[in-house]
Structure 1
Amino acid sequence: MSSNSILMIKTYEQLKAISDPLRISVISQIAHKSKTGKQIGESLNVSAPKIHYHLKELEKVGIVYIEKIELLNGIAQKFYITSGTDIVIDPELIPHLNELKESIRASIYSILSKSKAETLSAPEESFSVTSGEYMDWPIISIQTYVNINRDQFMEWKKKYHNLLDELATLEKNNKGEKTRFFISSVGFEASTEEGENQ
């Protein structure tokens, strides 16, 4: 988690650049760690030239940048990373937000796919338990439905993001031993039928 976690979308060009579901997937791949176009392509099962094209388009509008360049067999390997981890859209762009509907859905699906991949590749000790008390386990595993109004959800969401900011501060100030934890969360209005059955 970076202290500079906000990626503010301020222009229509930037909004248009992230309106492509594949670009949202590319962004999710390099939100926390820089990768080359080839590495991204291998993760997404997309050709490297196609990934490089989209990286260049995202770079043009300041959404990604080259964090470092390494030489491999005399060939420059460019490592791209996003300019922030959490995408926030300037309210001035609200008239254009309809263009983002499918990209937002694709982004959430990408987050869930990443969660599945991280779960499958996590070390065995990640799921070791030392007591019968869930709150003593160093994991979070929650999936639920709640029936509240939208204003209540938005108020709770603010508190949740404050907790994430607190986590970022802990990371920034921690000078001792560190363990890397993966945290993934999504939340959205679900179908009424599904919610009522839970």
Structure 2
Amino acid sequence: MEKEKVLTSLEEIKVFTDPFRMKILFALDEEPLTVKQLADRLGEVPSKVHYHVKELERIGVLEIVDKKEKAGIVEKYYFPTAERFRVEKVVAKEDGWKDQIENLRETMFKNASEDFKNYLTKRHDDDKEILNYGILNLTYEEFDELKKKLEELIERSSKRKNTKAYTYIIGVFKKYD
């Protein structure tokens, strides 16, 4: 598995930013699964999941990592091709990119919101959380420094023994009055 896959075309972003496909990616966070296992985990019919898995496979976001024969049927196990995915700025030159970036933002906030609601219903007193909302007054250099530190932390946070998964969504953007 690669550390990072860069999405460089509008077609890749269109496929990737579909909210249901993002759910599939999040469902594959720990181990490879078959389409049937994914469908069960997501509470969906296998045919719907199969279509979306094939689309993610087509753009190189998912791949078959194992095949097992069971009762004469070959089960294919899928897993992401990278630990994280990034949209390359070159995409911004294509028509329609703004709509796809907005779709990606909406999907990210929607998924994070669902994760947070789920966390609120299941959390324990000893769970750790960071919730912060505010205004930062930064120079361009300080903004770049913050971005670099966040990227370094995310880079170090690959799945390892004795770690727990935490949902995060970080947005730092210019405030307009």
TM-score range, shorter chain: 0.7 to 0.9
Between the two proteins, what is the percent identity of the paired residues?
20
**Residue of structure 2 aligned with 1:184, choices 155, 167, 173:** 167
Match of 2:132 in 1: 144
Q: Once the two structures are superposed, what CA deviation does each residue of 1:134-184 show, in whole Å capped at 9, x if it has no partner?
A: xxxxx531101120157555542320221232344x94xxxxxx3241122
- Separation in 1 of the partners of 2:121 and 2:163? 16
Match of 2:106 in 1: 105
Aligned length: 169
Deviation at 1:31, TM superposition (A): 4.3
71 and 8 in structure 1: CA distance in 2 versus 1, 3 angstrom threshold? same
**CA RMSD for the aligned pairs?**
3.0
- Separation in 2 of the partners of 1:118 and 1:75? 38
Match of 2:82 in 1: 84
Match of 1:157 in 2: 147
Match of 1:134 in 2: none
Q: Once the two structures are superposed, what CA deviation does each residue of 1:50-106 show, in whole Å capped at 9, x if it has no partner?
A: 110111111112111011112333322211111112221111101414223123322
- Separation in 2 of the partners of 1:104 and 1:189? 13
Gaps of 5+ in 1: 129-138, 172-177, 193-198
181 and 31 in structure 1: CA distance in 2 versus 1, 3 angstrom threshold? closer
Match of 1:136 in 2: none
Deviation at 1:112, TM superposition (A): 4.4
CA contact (8 A) 1:32 1:81 kept: no
CA contact (8 A) 2:108 2:169 kept: no
Deviation at 1:46, TM superposition (A): 2.1
**Letter matched to residue 3 of structure 2:** S
Q: Name the SS of the counterpart of 1:85 in structure 2.
A: strand
- Separation in 2 of the partners of 1:67 and 1:54? 17
TM-score between the two structures when normalised by the length of structure 2: 0.76
CA contact (8 A) 2:17 2:107 kept: no
- Separation in 2 of the partners of 1:117 and 1:81? 24
